[in-house]
Amino acid sequence: MSKIFNLTSQEAFKKLPQKLQTFFTRYPPAPLREYANKQTFTNAPDANPFIPNIHPVTKTVHSSIYSLRRQSDLYKLAYKFGVAELMPVMQNGKKLFTEKYETKPVLKGVTRPKGHKWERTYEERKKRVEEGIAKADDVLIQYRGSKYKKRLERRKVEQRTWY
Amino acid sequence: MSSSLRNLSKRYGTNLDRFPFFLRKMFDRLSREAQLPALTSDVPELPIEKRFKRPDQWKVEVGDRVLITEGKYKGHVTKVLALHHPTNRIFLELAETKKLVVPKQFWQAGQSTHVIDYPKTVHPSNVKVVGTIVDTAADGTERERDIAADQLVFKGEYWDEDYGKMMPYRRVKFHENVIIPWPRPEPEEDCAFSTAKEAAEERTYVPNCLVRTDAPENIVESLRDPIMKRAYKWDKKYITRSEAKRLSSPEMPISEAKKAMFEEKRKIREAIPSEPSVETIELVGKLVAEKLNAVTDRNFAAYVNSVGPDARQKKKEARESARKVHEEKIREAEERNKIKNRTEGKYKLRKAKKKGSVVF
């Protein structure tokens, strides 16, 4: 397949949607400026625009500069353009896509499955037993030698039928 | 109910209005039982707030001619003798009477027996005010005619010298141009102790200054009881909230705290960069270029182009041009319709003329 774009980094930045461009303009990504993972003062140098921060004088909690919906919108756009890792930590530790899938909590059914052990392993055991019975002759031949093999063959020939 | 003396001062004596209704009723009954039958009225007295105070409540005044509409003397025209304020009723010249036994100390001049006929009171709703209107016949002769007003309305008022107060105009309802004037009250005779009107109205004091009082200092203190325990109610040691508000200059609508907030917000706004720095473009653009240069999906490429910042402007221009085309189409269609209507009209006119009918 042929490649469609051939862009320099400057051109690629201009290709970003206006929302994302504005966001990265206002809040340069991590190596240029650090963002706190938790609540800080609103005037702190590492104040996270995705987290509701506390005003240093009034001690009131100001709602985050980007609402939960706008955060998610921005993150999803950034994900599409491959810059999701440059985004600050979202409110309430919100995660999306692969990250969300990987960090999702283990379900109760996995840690404490329903039924007794004999119930859960019943099918498997039955299958194993059937297979074992089917292979029983081969195993006996292996251990008891050719004499037993001949006996089996003779028994097959001498088997009585109704006709 | 409560006597006039008790009404004069609410401070001393028992104020019956303070009691609940059922207790007031009981006191009323007790006082009635203690009174002589001659001094009680057959109708119970009304509480003060229910008594008539204004002439438009009474509808009649002393000296009015009225038509009786209820009772034994129904249809008779008579005169109002007096208003009985405690019961909101009136005394008439011609009225039903009741036999009353009067103690000797209340006997009138010329009375020779204990039993007298005492007139009963009538409610003003059981009478109609009678007025006189003058009819002028065709030959110029004038004839007076009495009318009785079914209903009255009170609109407008004037200063009545005889009553010494503002009186409402008494009009016949639905014929409001007909005014039944109030009767002239009996002139009050001056006795030996009366003050002459001129003397009462004479102005004996003119203040020198509107700001400062002419009264000597400490006159108020000298008038008060020096050993009174309770502080005089006007000697307040505090000012009320409304007074404090009036004495202090008003607060500006934007407080200092708010100004500080605006200043802080302005600083934050200024600190936020408006143009992306070279480092930012380099850092972000590198990752984006890596991602986009590896793209082989046509659909994703179309998506990238559609969400770019210039895509919106292009969309807007496309919409504008489409609108122009649409408007042009409408204009052309209107032109076509005009031509069509004109030709059709001509054709119809010709057809009608041929048939010889009249066309308007």
Contacts of B95 (CB under 8 A, 6+ apart): B73, B78, B119, B120, B121, B122
Task: Answer whether A4 sits within 8 Å of B298, measured CB to CB.
Answer: yes
Q: Does A10 touch chain B (CB under 8 A)?
A: yes
List pLDDT tens digits, range A54-111.
Answer: 999 999 999 999 999 999 999 999 999 999 999 999 999 999 999 999 999 999 999 9
Contacts of A28 in chain B (CB under 8 A): 273, 276-277, 279-280, 283
Region B29-52: what's the mean pLDDT? 83
Contacts of B296 in chain A (CB under 8 A): 1-4
Tell me the nearest-neighbour CA distance from A132 into chain B, angstroms. 53
Residue B158 lies in a domain: yes
Contacts of A153 (CB under 8 A, 6+ apart): none
Region B2-29: what's the mean pLDDT? 71
Rounded CA separation A54/A64 (Å): 10
Mark whether B165 and B299 lie in a shared domain.
no
Residue B51 lies in a domain: yes
Q: Does B299 touch chain A (CB under 8 A)?
A: no
Residue B3 lies in a domain: no
The residue out of B132, B152, B179 marking a domain boundary is B179
Mark whether B39 and B175 lie in a shared domain.
yes
Give the chain B residue whose CA is nearest to the CA of A18.
B309
The residue out of B145, B179, B213 marking a domain boundary is B179
CB B50 within 8 A of CB B32: no
**pLDDT tier for residue B2 given thresholds of 50, 70 and 90:** very low
Task: Answer whether A12 sits within 8 Å of B295, measured CB to CB.
Answer: no
Mark whether B175 and B296 lie in a shared domain.
no
Q: What was the pLDDT predicted at A161?
A: 84
pLDDT at A125 > cutoff 70? yes
Residue B190 lies in a domain: no
Tell me the nearest-neighbour CA distance from A119 into chain B, angstroms. 49
The per-type count for chain A, helices as H runs and strands as E runs, is 9, 2
**pLDDT tier for residue B202 given thresholds of 50, 70 and 90:** very high
Task: Answer whether B284 sits within 8 Å of A86, measured CB to CB.
Answer: yes
Residue B45 lies in a domain: yes
Tell me the nearest-neighbour CA distance from A23 into chain B, angstroms. 9
Region A127-135: what's the mean pLDDT? 97
Long-range contacts of A94-102 (CB under 8 A, 24+ apart): A94/A68, A96/A72
Tell me the nearest-neighbour CA distance from B322 into chain A, angstroms. 25
Task: Answer whether A25 sits within 8 Å of B274, measured CB to CB.
Answer: yes
Strand intervals (E) in B17-173: 65-68, 77-84, 89-92, 97-101, 115-119, 127-136, 142-148, 152-160, 165-172
Residue B98 lies in a domain: yes
Give the chain B residue whose CA is nearest to the CA of A8.
B289
The residue out of B179, B210, B237 marking a domain boundary is B179
CB A86 within 8 A of CB A78: yes
Q: What was the pLDDT predicted at B217?
A: 85
Task: Answer whether A9 sits within 8 Å of B280, measured CB to CB.
Answer: no
Task: Answer whether A32 sits within 8 Å of B283, measured CB to CB.
Answer: yes
Q: Which of B258, B259, B287 to mutate to test the interface with A (most CBs of A within 10 A)?
A: B287
Rounded CA separation A107/A61 (Å): 34
Residue B59 lies in a domain: yes
Residue B293 lies in a domain: yes
Region B193-212: what's the mean pLDDT? 90
Region B267-285: what's the mean pLDDT? 93
Provide the chain B residues 244-283 that lie in CB contact (below 8 A) with chain A: 260, 264, 268, 272-277, 279-283
CATH of the domain at B109: 2.30.30
What b/e readout covers A120-154, taking b as 16+ CB neighbours within 10 angstroms? eeeeeeeeeeeeeeeeeeeeebeeeeeeeeeeeee
Region B37-63: what's the mean pLDDT? 88
pLDDT at A19 > cutoff 90? yes
Note down the domain range covering B100: 35-179
Contacts of A29 in chain B (CB under 8 A): 280, 283-284
Task: Answer whether A3 sits within 8 Å of B296, measured CB to CB.
Answer: yes
Q: Which of A15, A46, A57 to mutate to test the interface with B (most CBs of B within 10 A)?
A: A15
Q: How many distinct structural domains can be found in chain B?
A: 2
List pLDDT tens digits, range B76-133.
Answer: 999 999 999 999 999 999 999 998 888 888 888 888 999 988 899 999 999 999 999 9
pLDDT at A151 > cutoff 90? yes
Nearest to B38 by CA among B122, B91, B114: B114
**pLDDT tier for residue B219 given thresholds of 50, 70 and 90:** confident
Q: What was the pLDDT predicted at B1?
A: 45
What is the percent of chain B where pLDDT is above 90?
52
Mark whether B169 and B291 lie in a shared domain.
no
Give the chain A residue whose CA is nearest to the CA of B265.
A43
**Average pLDDT score, chain B:** 88
Task: Answer whether A43 sits within 8 Å of B296, measured CB to CB.
Answer: no
